Amino acid sequence: MSRDSRQQARDRLSVLAPAPGDDITVARQVEQDVSLVGRLLAAAGGHSDNGQRPGVIPDDVGAALGLFEGMREELDRLETQVVIEARRRGMDWRQIAVHQGLNSSQAASQRYQRLMTRLEEIRQGVR
């Protein structure tokens, strides 16, 4: 998906008001985690003579790395829910593929199946 397409999607969705009682806690947590990783990278942007930024220690970097698996899992859940909603609203796999920046309906369907498999493995404790 191009940068312009992503911005158009943001603009379109930003006008939607949450329904009363909507739980957007997961999305907010992912947003917060992304922000924290961004702050770490900004803080680590400058380097001292020994190649490290004062105030950013390896434990900080490790903490940021530790956030990714949780963010990935939550994003997979959100993507799966949106694909389910798209199908429920009559979108076919080709339409979904276009919006995901994929080249075919088969690619979109396979992506969905991989997400479902991954989430089921997480649920069962396999991952």
**pLDDT tens digits, 91-120:** 999 999 999 999 999 999 999 999 999 999
Q: In angstroms, rounded to a whole number, what is the distance separating the alpha carbons of residues 3 and 68?
A: 23
pLDDT at 110 (0 to 100): 98
Q: How many residues does the chain have?
A: 127
Sign, CA dihedral 99-121-33-64, equals: negative
- Kindly indicate the confidence band of residue 49, based on its pLDDT and cuts at 50, 70 and 90: low
Report the predicted TM-score, pTM, of the whole model to 2 decimal places: 0.78
Contact 11, 23 (CB under 8 A): no
